[in-house]
Structures are given as C-alpha cells and as structure tokens.
Structure 1
Amino acid sequence: MTEDDQQSRYGSGPRLSPALIATLVAIPVMVIVGFITFAALRPDPTTPIESYVSGEAAPAECAELIDAVPQTFDGFGDKQVAGTTVTWPSESDGDPVTLRCGISRPDELSPTSNLQVIHPVQWFITDTVEGSGQAYVCVDHRPYVAMWIPENAGNGPITDVSAVIDETLPRGPLDFG
C-alpha cells in the first residue's frame, strides 16, 4: 500500500491516542452509571402523607393532639415528634406509623367519596400503596389529620388515634369543596 493510499484511507490529520479514546468513552459511561446509582439510592418520601400540603400555620389544637396520642403501639417504638408530624418506628423492617396534623382538605374528597368510620371518626382513604400500607385523612374534625398505616400495623393504631382525635379536636362539617 502506498503512502497516498494510506492517507486517503486513514486521513492525513493527527491520530487520537488510545488513552484519549478510552477517556472519551469512559466519561459518558461513568456519568450514566452515576445517574442510575443516584436514582436507585435516592431517598423517597417514606410515606405518601409527607407530600400532603399543610395549612399555613400549625393550629394550636395540633399540639394538644400530639401530646395525647399514645406513646407506642404494639410492634412499634416510642413516638417521635417533629413539628406537627409524629412517627412510631417499626420494630421490624417496615414503614413507621405516621401522623400529620394540620394538613389541607384533600382535593379528592367529594359527596360520593367512601368514608371509613373508626371509633366514631370518619376517615377518607387518600392513598393505597400495594404491599406497603394506606393513608387516611380524618375529615370530620378540625384541623385535618392524616395518618399512614403500614400493612403490618393492623387496626390498633388508627383505632387508638381515632379515640384521641374525638376527645381532643373539635368536630367540623364534612367539606366537599
């Protein structure tokens, strides 16, 4: 092969070194792997109720409710309070029972909504996560209270909290927007 044939076949410009080529391939691969790792490991909200909109200011009644809710539930640790959110961590590898006081009225609440009556409080199921649990909002007392009940919690936590809500928070009319 003549020099003219080589130049027409491979070009006459400078050649890229193998190290530069390896770097140009490795950097995009590392960026993609980094994004995949971040997406897989990023912390998601533990429960749906953490994303619910809260009222502008924490109502004074929330402090009374938070003081009155049980210290613990069967299978869950002692209550932990952060502002108007209370969690009872699971003693196993499950979600905590979580309560938020002072959230806004659920937009989905309508005259045809199914309500669950639990020891005499009316709850609206807002979210169900298959294999994980359900989120409820108390709709007949004010301020609105949301509760996340993990699948392994049973009925005890929501029954006990319903009794406390009925004793500490004022009743309010059902507001369908």
Structure 2
Amino acid sequence: MTPPGPDEPDNNADRAEETDAERVSAAEGVEKSGSADSVEKSGSAESVEKSGSAESVEDTTHARYGDSGPRLSPALIATLVTIPVMVIVGFIVFAALRPGNSDSTPVDSYAAESSTPAECPKFLAALPQTFEGYGNKTISGTQASWPASKDGDPVIVRCGVSRPAELSPTSNLQVVNPVQWFITDSIEGSGQAFICVDHRPYVALWVPVNAGNGPITDVSAAIERTLPRGPLDFG
C-alpha cells in the first residue's frame, strides 16, 4: 500500500478519529441509557414503596375497625346509655315527689273507731256534691272525696277517726262556721289536714293547697247541721 503524499489527505487518520468519536458517542449513549434505566427503576421502586405504604395503612385500618368503620369504646357506649337513663329516673322521682301527685294524703293514715258510727252515713250524704275546681263527690265507706279538675290531690273527708293524740289545752284551734278544727298536718306546697274536735264522731278533712276556704266552710256547715256537739277531750 503506497503511503499518501505530503499534499494528500490522510484518510486513515480521519477514519480513526471517526471511530474514536463513535466509541465516545456510544459510551455516552450507554451511560445515558443506564442513567435513564436507573431513574426509571428508582421511580418504580418509589412507586412500589408508596403503594406498599398505602396498602399497609389500609390493612391496618381494616384490621382495627373491620368493615363497619370506627368502633366506639365500651366506656363511651356506657356513658351514652347511662345519661338518658339517669334523666328518665330523675324525671320519675321528680314526678313522684311533686306536691299534689301522691296517691294518698295524711288523713288516709289516721286511725279510726273500731265500728262505724251511726251518724256517718247521714253526714256524708249532707256534704256538698262538688267544690269549685273539683269534680263530683264520691262516697266509699266512711270517706267522701272530690277529685281535682286538674293535677292535684282530691278534697277528702273521713268520718269516725280517732281523737288526735296531740290535742291539748294549749292547742291552737281554728273556728269555722262555728266548728272547731285542730290542724294535724301541714305540708308545704301540698295542703293541710284538720280534725273537728267539738262534734262527735270526729271528722278529718284534707284541704289541698290552692283549694281556698270553700271546702272547710261547707264541711263545717254540714257538721253543724248533722252531728251532735261534744266536749273538747284533751285525754
């Protein structure tokens, strides 16, 4: 092979330079490709890691609450149940203790004579049929009662009760039309109980609060008309 002259281009050198340039370019391409693969793999790894974290959170949530969502603690459930129960119980107690809402009055517990006095039927029949704010009279045995038109105790009269043991010469007596009454019970917000002590047999009267003077005035008039007078017995 004849070497090139001084003025001829050296094609071999040019080809060698081209080959070297191609090698460098190929190497750079490989390097860039590797970097891209690395980035892609890194991105995939991060995606997998994030996906795994999401699945882990989801699994933890499902394991804690199940399919029905978050659950209330037993203590909270007990509190939510107890509060309404306490409110209901408190309302029942309030209603039971409210004045004028009881099923009995003090005169219901007073002792009575061993036998029914003969004067009682006539006396009970002479009592008014009604009082203002109360219903019609009902007689049961030796007792007459008038139910309240609204919530509250009835007016009650009992004939033939025993002499009040607390009656003494110093007792304060109420004189009404012109019967003498001894106050045996006085309940604030509920009413007063009386026993007529100057006629026989003894008569007990329960006057609810806000009933006014009508019941004791009319009952006193019936006592004066139908029952005999008797001395004050201080025991």
Q: TM-score, normalized by length of structure 2?
A: 0.57
**Segments of 4+ moved more than 3 angstroms:** none
Q: Select the structure with the greater relative contact order (CA < 8 A; seq sep ≥ 6).
A: 1
Aligned residue in 2 for 1:143: 201
| Aligned pair partner of 2:146 in 62, 83, 88 | 88
How many Å separate the matches in 2 of 1:96 and 1:86? 10
What is the Cα deviation at residue 44 of structure 1? 5.6
Q: CA deviation at 1:46?
A: 1.6
The counterpart of 2:108, out of the listed 50, 53, 60, is 50
Question: Aligned pair count?
Answer: 142
Q: Which residue of 2 aligns with 1:24?
A: none
SS in 2 for 1:60: coil
Task: For structure 2, list consecutive stretches of 5 or more residues without a partner in the other structure.
Answer: 1-88
Amino acid at match of 1:76: Y
| Distance in 2, Cα, partners of 1:60 & 1:88 | 23
Q: TM-score, normalised by structure 1?
A: 0.76
Q: Is the 8 A contact 2:155 2:206 kept in 1?
A: yes
- Matched letter for residue 74 of structure 1: E
List aligned pairs for 1:1-177, cutoff 5 A. Answer: 46-177=104-235
Cα root mean square deviation, aligned: 2.0
- As a proportion of its length, which structure holds more strand? 1
| Equivalent position SS for 2:119 | helix
Q: Deviations over 1:107-129 (max 9, x none)?
A: 00000000000000000000001
> Is the helix fraction higher in 1 or 2?
2
Deviation by residue 1:125-157 (Cα, 9 ceiling, x = unmatched): 000011000000000000000000001210001
Verify the 8 A CA contact 1:133 1:151 in the aligned structure 2: yes
Instruction: Report the secondary structure of 2:124's partner residue.
Output: helix
Listed as ranges, the gaps of 5+ residues in structure 1 are 1-35
Question: In percent, how many aligned pairs have the same letter?
Answer: 64
Q: How many angstroms does 1:58 deviate by?
A: 0.8
